Amino acid sequence: MKILIYFVLIIAFLMFYRQSPIISIILIIIFLASYLYYKSRKGRSSLNRGAFFSGKQSQNNGRVDDLVTLVVLQQMFDKPSTNKVDELRSNQDKSHKQEEQIEKIKHEILELLEE
């Protein structure tokens, strides 16, 4: 029965992904984060019996896993911002080159009009 539910969820996700991929990816991240949060809370209350990555863990090891998860999420969200900075720099370079070309064309037109 679980397999059938997972199969239906996968099919529904694929159908939704075709309509709006960004929102579906955001939904997956939210579901995974809530699942990990639920599992970590459930695991701590029952002596880590329902831990996500492995069986029994010490309290410090669980904190390290949480820290690693946070670092990975931060890196995932920081990479697009660096790409935006690079994109802005390239756009500024392009606009500067276009301005130089416009100035050259203006000077050529002025020279032609003087003749």
Q: Which residue has the tokens 């660096």?
A: 82
What pLDDT digit, counting tens, does each position of 26-76 carry? Answer: 877 887 888 888 888 876 655 544 445 555 555 566 678 888 888 887 777
pLDDT (0 to 100) of residue 43: 66
Q: How far apart are CA 37 and CA 26, in angstroms?
A: 16
Q: How far apart are CA 7 and CA 18, in angstroms?
A: 17
Distance of CA 113 to the CA centre of its chain: 55
Distant-in-sequence, close-in-space partners of 16: CB < 8 Å, separation ≥ 6: 23, 24, 27
User: Does residue 2 register a pLDDT over 80?
Assistant: no
Domain boundaries, the chain: 1-54, 58-115
User: Does residue 104 register a pLDDT over 90?
Assistant: yes
- Check: pTM over 0.85? Answer yes or no: no
